[in-house]
Amino acid sequence: MSRDTASSLDLRPAALPAAALALVIGVAAASVLAAEPARLTNFGLRLLPPGAAHPFGTDALGRDLLARTLAGLGTSLRVGLVAAGLSTALAIVMALASGIGRRADAAVCFLVDAFLGLPHLVLLILVSFALGGGTSAVIVAVAVTHWPRLTRVLRAELLQIREAEFVTLSLGFGRSKGFVLLHHVLPHLVPQALVGFVLLFPHAILHEAGLTFLGFGLEPSRPAIGILLSDAMRTLAAGRWWLAVFPGLALLALVLAFDTLGNGLRRLLDPRGEPA
């Protein structure tokens, strides 16, 4: 095999994550530009099928569906960013708490098992409903229901690091458990937490869309994918297929992009993983 061929094969694992990152950045930039056009109504252009002027068609109020889809994806990105960040931070805190002692570890394991044992969607709906719905309620609901699995991963990593020689030596020199956890263990948890943060994104986005679709999520006045899909159900039987197909495909593409990014980041940060 020639050197050029080998180089091209070596670059293949990075091609998909790079394309996914470019897609995410493009969607984020386009959503900012589409925010204002997504609100413009024109009753003379109601329910137009896809065409040159409106590639995704228009909705029941004559609003451009492409602009509303991009704006909805931007909303999903913002909600997913905050929710995944809060959930990752909570998972790090819980994992570090499990390293304090046996009782703390038992308490963390109990909470993880309790949250994982509850029906996920039901818990999301209950938390969002209890907080009155809206953007903040969706963020909190997603954040407090997505930390257990990442906590398990970080706790397993912590158990391995805790047996390392440098940790034993640090404790032997009289350092407290808190000092060891913050200065020796936490830096080794950051790569796993970063991968978990990226992989939490698609779950956060899908659950935000699901809650909004069911009526427990974002405000109906805001452009969001869940709202677009919910509105599409009213006219889907009349043959207005574009109202559901294009927002649904856009949401699927965004979720797959984050999944590809997370898997690529995991292969990059974990040399023990399987080669791509």
List of domains in the chain: 26-35+65-269 (1.10.3720.10)
Please indicate whether residue 59 or residue 174 has the higher confidence score (pLDDT). 59
Is the Cα dihedral 84, 261, 251, 34 positive or negative?
Answer: positive
Side-chain-side CA neighbours of 236 within 13 Å: the count stands at 11
Q: Tens of pLDDT along 35-58?
A: 888 888 888 888 889 988 889 988
pTM, entire model: 0.81
How distant, in Å, are the alpha carbons of 34, 162, 188, 219, 274 from that of 166?
A: 53, 9, 12, 51, 27
Q: Is the predicted pLDDT of residue 27 greater than 80, yes or no?
A: yes
Is the Cα dihedral 199, 205, 207, 210 positive or negative?
Answer: negative
In 10 A of CB 227, how many CB atoms? 23
User: Mean pLDDT across the stretch 247-274?
Assistant: 78
The closest alpha carbon to 270, from 193, 177, 191, 212, belongs to 191
Q: Would you call 89 helix, strand, or coil by DSSP?
A: helix
Please indicate whether residue 268 or residue 124 has the higher confidence score (pLDDT). 124
How far apart, in whole angstroms, are the C-alpha atoms of residue 153 and residue 270? 13
Q: Would you call 15 helix, strand, or coil by DSSP?
A: helix
The closest alpha carbon to 191, from 93, 112, 265, 86, belongs to 265
Please indicate whether residue 270 or residue 206 has the higher confidence score (pLDDT). 206
How distant, in Å, are the alpha carbons of 68, 91, 204 from that of 136?
A: 21, 20, 13
Rounded percentage of the chain residues whose pLDDT exceeds 90:
18
Q: Is the predicted pLDDT of residue 242 greater than 80, yes or no?
A: yes
Q: Is the predicted pLDDT of residue 9 greater than 70, yes or no?
A: no
Is the Cα dihedral 265, 266, 268, 274 positive or negative?
Answer: negative
pLDDT bin (cut points 50, 70, 90) of residue 90 is very high
How far apart, in whole angstroms, are the C-alpha atoms of residue 116 and residue 66? 37
List all residues 6 or more positions away from 48 whose beta carbon is below 8 Å from its beta carbon: 54, 57, 58, 62
Task: Give residue 53's Cα distance to chain centre.
Answer: 33
How far apart, in whole angstroms, are the C-alpha atoms of residue 228 and residue 247? 7
| 158 touches 185 (CB < 8 A) | yes
How distant, in Å, are the alpha carbons of 2, 54, 121, 190, 271 from that of 6?
A: 6, 44, 46, 32, 20
Please give the pLDDT value at position 231. Answer: 84
Please give the pLDDT value at position 2. Answer: 46
User: Mean pLDDT across the stretch 229-254?
Assistant: 86
Q: What is the mean pLDDT of the chain?
A: 83
What is the helix (H) or strand (E) element at residue 39, kind and residue range? Answer: none
User: Mean pLDDT across the stretch 208-227?
Assistant: 82
Please give the pLDDT value at position 150. Answer: 92
User: Mean pLDDT across the stretch 111-139?
Assistant: 87
User: Mean pLDDT across the stretch 89-117?
Assistant: 91
Q: Of the given ranges (201-210, 241-250, 263-272), which has the lowest mean pLDDT? A: 263-272
In 10 A of CB 253, how many CB atoms? 13
